[in-house]
Amino acid sequence: MTDTTHNFHIPVMGTGHSIDTPIRLAHLGITSVISIIDDILLERLRKFYTGKYNLPYERIPHREEDGRAKRITAYLDMVNDIVQLKMEHVRSLPFFEKNEKTRYFELLPDTSTLKKTYQDLLATQPGELRDQISADLTRRMRPGGIDVNIMVKVDRIDMDKHGTPLGEGFSDAKAALRGFAKSKLESAMVFSAGINQSLYGYMTKYQDFYRDQSGEIKKKIILKVSDFRSAMIQGRYMAKKGLEISEFRIESGLNCGGHAFASPGHLLPILLQDFKDKRAELGTQFQPIIKRFYEKMGWDYPEDIEHHPEITVQGGIGNHGEVQRLEKDFGMDRTGWASPFLLVPEATPIDTVTRMQLMNATDDSLYLSGASPLGVPFNNLKDSGSEKWSMDRYRKGKPGSPCPKGFLVSNTEFTELPICTASSEYMNHKLAQIENEMAPGIEKDAAINRVLAKTCLCEHLGNGVLISLGISPAERSPQAICPGPNLSWFNRNYSLEEMIDQIYGRGKELLSSDRPHMFAKEIQLYVDHFRTLIHDAMSPKEYPSLHAFYDNMVKGFEYCKTIAKGHSYPGENLPSLSEAIEKQGQRLEELYQTFRSKINAEVTA
């Protein structure tokens, strides 16, 4: 765990929406996650922030040897330096004044032992005892973690200036990991979006991922996982290489921002209960394997250490009642809050136009799209600058993006080397193919729309920060953003204090009492997803997975009924869970019976 100050963290948001959040908030003890996929964006931000904080800057050219890793290391080192400077300044401030030091302690959860000591200080009369407490509190102040994220499947092999592949060690994911490994940071690497065994094996080259002589791990590992089975598989693979998982991070498959990796119908409460019931295995299963690795390497493994990974959860959480449900009933160690912080200007760099759109967003304008070139459903904002830019290019006869960065290249349908499905090159080929092979009609229009839905996420997800910091003009920087459905209930800019009070159940409730429970919203999203799956099913080979999806949903509904009938935490809208089970259960059944009728008709045809 990189930070024990707060009971929440701010997860990664796109390539740019949390890229400088540690600079903004880490000195207040708040942990956040930076995406390190876009080294070009990081370099532009490094130039800006070194200027702002009067730090040395030397440009790292695009084609410098191992330039990607060097740019990532340089940015992370700079963030670390700025956070340390700000932290030292905050520590130097006096108590009993309205300043950032006071703010640091007042933002803490009321359950924090640090905050309780601070409250004792406030009640202590001037004198030697108060001076001792003040010194102790100052010594115990720690910045929030500067964690980083890699989407493990975004792993293109980079080319040299002559177009020759540089080799596996220079793939995007490995270069990013190398950039983090060589940085000053003592924080965590968050791996998301699947499994990449080659990347995991590459970590063994860096000693910082292992325990040092004092028993500490400088660079920790966090795995974002979809279920307990995935946690065990990945944890065991890493344990064989002596690598320990400090945290398993569970995310709702659909009630989240960014890419949506839907489970096969397993609702979040079912997944959380599974982790709660079996969490001891995450330590007892892995630690003996890890110790054997240390013995084989001739390393000492501290005898007094028991490996107990943390388990955290994120996706669609809206108030303290839901936090209590997750922490008390399911034993979660912390919660992740992402999309709501898009409306906290102090926390996230969002351009003004996009932030206004987010304030006015509704359920209809926050939708699951086909925008991602990865082919994974992507949470999107209707009428964003990116969407408008893409349609404008199509109307001008120039569909697609010039693909200036190419991080998401993967398609070889028309070319020998992979290209991006959001690129002009791909779209021109694909649209011509559709024009030549399909007759006019609804199916052709749908095929064209699927092609045009792809947008240049590599570039556009980072433009908001460039606009907000004045680095790039809005008219040349189309903005994409990827909020989760939960954001529709947040409708204005919030102060940092307001949002943290919402998390900890202090102050005025920010959301309407009509907001459905996070579990209720997830149920609706999964039934919507099931409708899409059966509509798109083309082959009988897909039918068994759809039957299994339905069975998993029915099991989840039954479990959610026990939650809905039980006790309620303050602020939880449990009646909405009962309503969702009834309404969406009926809807699920109707969809499934229609699907079965379709199968029976095919069999008798």
**pLDDT over 50 (residue 3):** no
Of 122-131, 443-452, 553-562, 592-601, the poorest mean pLDDT is in 592-601
Average of per-residue pLDDT across 33-59: 97
* pLDDT higher than threshold 90 for residue 392: yes
Reduced to 3 states (helix: H, G, I; strand: E, B; else coil), residue 266 is: coil
- Picking from 190-194, 372-376, 475-479, which range would have the lowest pLDDT averaged per residue? 190-194
Determine the distance from the C-alpha atom of residue 174 to the mean position of all C-alpha atoms in its chain, rounded to a whole number. 19
Q: What is the pLDDT of residues 569-578, one digit of tens each?
A: 999 999 999 9
* Confidence band for 526, pLDDT divided at 50, 70 and 90: very high
Average pLDDT over residues 382-401: 94
pLDDT in tens, 117-173: 999 999 999 999 999 999 999 999 999 999 999 988 776 766 666 566 666 677 889
Residues in CB range of 37: below 8 A, 6 or more apart: 15, 149, 150, 151, 154, 172, 176, 407
- Token pair listed for 214: 């004092």
* Residue 599 confidence (pLDDT) above 70: yes
Give the number of C-alpha atoms closer than 13 A to the C-alpha of residue 230, restricted to the C-beta side: 17
Which backbone phi and psi does 430 adopt, to 5 degrees? -70, -40
Query: In which residue are the tokens 């193919």 written?
Result: 433
- The overall longest dimension of the chain from CA atoms, in Å, is 91
For the segment 199-227, what is each residue's pLDDT rounded down to a tens digit? Answer: 999 999 999 999 998 889 999 999 999 89
Cα angle 187, 189, 194 (rounded to 5 degrees) comes to 165
Domain ranges of the chain: 8-329, 352-480, 514-604
Average pLDDT over residues 340-352: 97
- pLDDT-based confidence at residue 309 (cuts at 50, 70, 90): very high
Mean pLDDT calculated for residue range 23-31: 97
Q: Which of the four pLDDT bands, split at 50, 70 and 90, describes residue 541?
A: confident
- As a three-state string, the secondary structure of 273-339 is HHHHHHCCHHHHCCHHHHHHHHHHHCCCCCCCCCCCCEEEEECCCCCHHHHHHHHHHCCCCEEECCH
- The rounded distance, in Å, linking the Cα atoms of 369 and 97 is 49
| Stretch 479-492: mean pLDDT | 95
Please give the average per-residue pLDDT across 101-114, as a whole number. 96
Which segment, 51-55, 233-237, 405-409, is predicted with the most confidence on average? 51-55
Q: 420: buried, middle or exposed (CB in 10 Å: 19+, 13-18, 0-12)?
A: buried
pLDDT at 1 over 50: no
| pLDDT at position 289 | 94
Report the candidate in 233, 249, 160, 154 with the shortest Cα–Cα distance to residue 199.
154
3-state helix, strand, coil in the chain (%, to 5): 50, 10, 40
Q: Mean pLDDT, to the nearest integer, of 37-58?
A: 97
| Mean pLDDT value across residues 60-89 | 95
Which range among 160-169, 172-181, 290-299, 404-413 shows the weakest confidence by mean pLDDT? 160-169
Q: Are strands 8-9 and 334-336 parallel, antiparallel or unpaired?
A: parallel
Q: 2: pLDDT confidence band, cut at 50, 70 and 90?
A: very low
The per-residue pLDDT for 163 is: 62
Alpha helix (H) residue ranges in 401-495: 424-437, 442-452, 457-460, 463-468
* Distance, CA of 484 to CA of 381 (rounded, Å): 9
Q: Which of the four pLDDT bands, split at 50, 70 and 90, describes residue 319?
A: very high
DSSP state of 343: G
